[in-house]
Amino acid sequence: MTAGKGKTFYIHTFGCQMNQADSAIITAVLQQEGYTVAESEESAGIILLNTCAVRENAVDRIENYLQRIQGMKKRDKRLVIGLAGCIPQYQREETLTLSPAIDFLAGPDSYRTLPALIEQARGGAKPTSLEFNVAETYEGIDPVRLGLISAIVPVMRGCNNRCAYCVVPFTRGRERSHPFRSVISEVQQVVAAGYREITLIGQNVNSYHDPEAGMNFAALLDAVSREAPQTRVRFTTSHPKDISAELVRIIADRPNICNHIHLPVQSGSTVVLGRMNRGHTIEEYREKIALIRSIIPGVTLSTDIIAGFCGEREEDHQASLELLSSVRFDSAYMFFYSTRPGTLAARTLVDDVVEEEKKRRLQEIIDLQNSISADLFQQAIGSVVEVLAETESRRSTGQLMGRTVGNRAVVFDRESHQPGDLVRVLITAATSATLTGRPEHR
Ligand code: SAH
Ligand code: SF4
Ligand code: F3S
């Protein structure tokens, strides 16, 4: 291969933070082989789409995107286009039929083979690398991250749960934890590189388990927070069944662990939770919330919720609304159910809530949650919060955007501050999604 454009790549990342972390691995693997990051998609010799399959509309987005880059490929025959991540792993070789422009497929456990896939694709083959490898945690590869303030550190891959609606076990394979030592050494690197915040991630992060080191997630979180005492530490996503009093106490005790827990509930109805195979009742979920609130005063909570799952009756929907009203989450990711072929729900349940009704229920959920968030955010007006400045605000270079320990977004007057600064901000206004304010002068 000649040097120049052919040796440059551009990654477009869709989906969750797991994919963001994987894009940093992909970048490292390709850079080791002499490839460099292209300044723009147009100037790249290789375009990689790191894809998400979690809901039907996530797949639609990729299809739209592929249509757009198909035209680029007509203009530049040497352009190589690869699909990585969850769609190829889920739809396997069939993914190639999404677009004639696709040159190769790489599943989430196969990124070490990317240089070989690219070479084979240039030779005219349409190679695919879709094997699961339960030993793969990409140990020994130093991720090349975007951004300089907040670092994502994966601590596990895959998921052993079988939530009935979910493709992730199919796209990511069996759960495996990164060795404790390798997490700690990544944390040390991130601290040495000057990052101010670390987010430990996994599909089910609190089921972390390293048998050799004798470490569960509570012990890991404790060790990470001690290794990086000046750095904010967050984690996501937690499963309710794996929230323990031990874990909650560590969050409360360690000053640099952010007092925010994202705890997906999915439905407010025990009947629906059972059908979803979530492994707990709504009472058990409420008990976990009560435990968390009793041990961590001022904790903020957020959740995920699905409207219109198979067999959901109006009373189940009302139970979801009631849960939101009584728990009063700070924020929520809200979805209507979309059936995913091959999952337990698609094989054994009937997707019987019509689309119009799913959307109506979702809208009720969104309206209620927005009013709760707006209420909670209003209450913050007049208080002073500590904000880690992350970027310039999208609206004005005279303002910075950052987050509170509770993960609330704050836009504030920049004055002399820079991204990376911890700033005490007096809150002067609020919407349902953002707080606004100015640095406090004492
Ligand atoms: N591992 C995480 C997140 C998984 S995917 C967890 O267990 O919480 C993120 C969210 O997408 C899920 O929490 C769920 O609310 C939503 N989701 C997953 N599959 C879905 C589907 N088929 N239809 C609608 N929403 C879905
Ligand atoms: Fe999907 Fe459930 Fe695993 Fe989360 S815990 S990734 S929702 S199967
Ligand atoms: Fe999507 Fe894969 Fe994440 S399906 S949500 S990118 S694990």
What is the dihedral angle through the alpha carbons of 249, 254, 258, 260, rounded to the nearest 10 degrees?
10
Query: Which ligand has the shortest distance to the CA of 108?
Result: 3
Cα–ligand 2 centroid distance for 169 (angstroms): 7
Q: Give residues (CB < 6 A) around ligand 1.
A: 54-55, 165-166, 168, 203-204, 237, 239, 264, 266, 304, 306, 335, 337-338, 340
**Spacing of C-alpha 224 from chain mean position:** 20
Distances (CA, A) of 183 to 154, 180, 214, 223, 329: 8, 5, 14, 10, 30
In the chain, which stretches have pLDDT less than 50? 1-2
Cα–ligand 1 centroid distance for 162 (angstroms): 12
Q: Which residues pair with 437 in a beta bridge?
A: 412, 427
Q: Is 317 in the pocket of ligand 3 (CB under 6 A)?
A: no
145-258: which CATH topology? Transcription Regulator spoIIAA (3.30.750)
CA atoms within 13 A on the CB side of 306: 23
Cα–ligand 3 centroid distance for 21 (angstroms): 11
Confidence (pLDDT) at 59: 87
Nearest CA to ligand 3 atom 7: 168
Question: Cα–Cα–Cα angle for 91, 19, 343, nearest 5°?
Answer: 35
* Residue to probe by mutation, ligand 1, list 335, 359, 365, 366, most atoms within 8 Å of CB: 335
* 324/367 Cα distance (integer angstroms): 11
Query: Which ligand has the shortest distance to the CA of 84?
Result: 3
Query: Which overall architecture, per CATH, does domain 384-439 show?
Result: Beta Barrel (2.40)
Containing 333, the helix (H) or strand (E) segment is strand 331-336
Which CATH class, in words, describes the domain spanning 261-378?
Answer: alpha beta
Q: Is 394 exposed, middle or buried (0-12, 13-18, 19+ CB in 10 A)?
A: exposed
CA atoms within 13 A on the CB side of 440: 13
The predicted-structure confidence for 58-68, as pLDDT tens digits, reads as follows 888 999 999 98
Domain ranges of the chain: 5-129, 145-258, 261-378, 384-439
Contact 257, 251 (CB under 8 A): yes
pTM recorded for the entire structure: 0.96
Query: What average pLDDT is seen over the chain?
Result: 96
What is the dihedral angle through the alpha carbons of 291, 294, 296, 300, rounded to the nearest 10 degrees?
70
CA gyration radius for the chain?
A: 22
**Spacing of C-alpha 359 from chain mean position:** 24
* 292/110 Cα distance (integer angstroms): 38
Confidence (pLDDT) at 2: 44
Confidence (pLDDT) at 182: 96
Give the pair of three-digit tokens for residue 76.
């530049």
Fold agreement (145-258, 261-378) = yes
Q: Which CATH superfamily is domain 5-129 in?
A: Methylthiotransferase, N-terminal domain (3.40.50.12160)
Of all atoms in ligand 1, which is nearest to the CA of residue 167? 19
Q: What is the chain's length?
A: 442
* 423/429 Cα distance (integer angstroms): 17
What is the CB neighbour count within 10 angstroms for residue 186? 21
Maximum distance among all Cα pairs of the chain, rounded to whole angstroms: 67
Contact 164, 306 (CB under 8 A): no
* Residue to probe by mutation, ligand 2, list 160, 161, 266, most atoms within 8 Å of CB: 161
Give the pair of three-digit tokens for residue 328.
């009063």
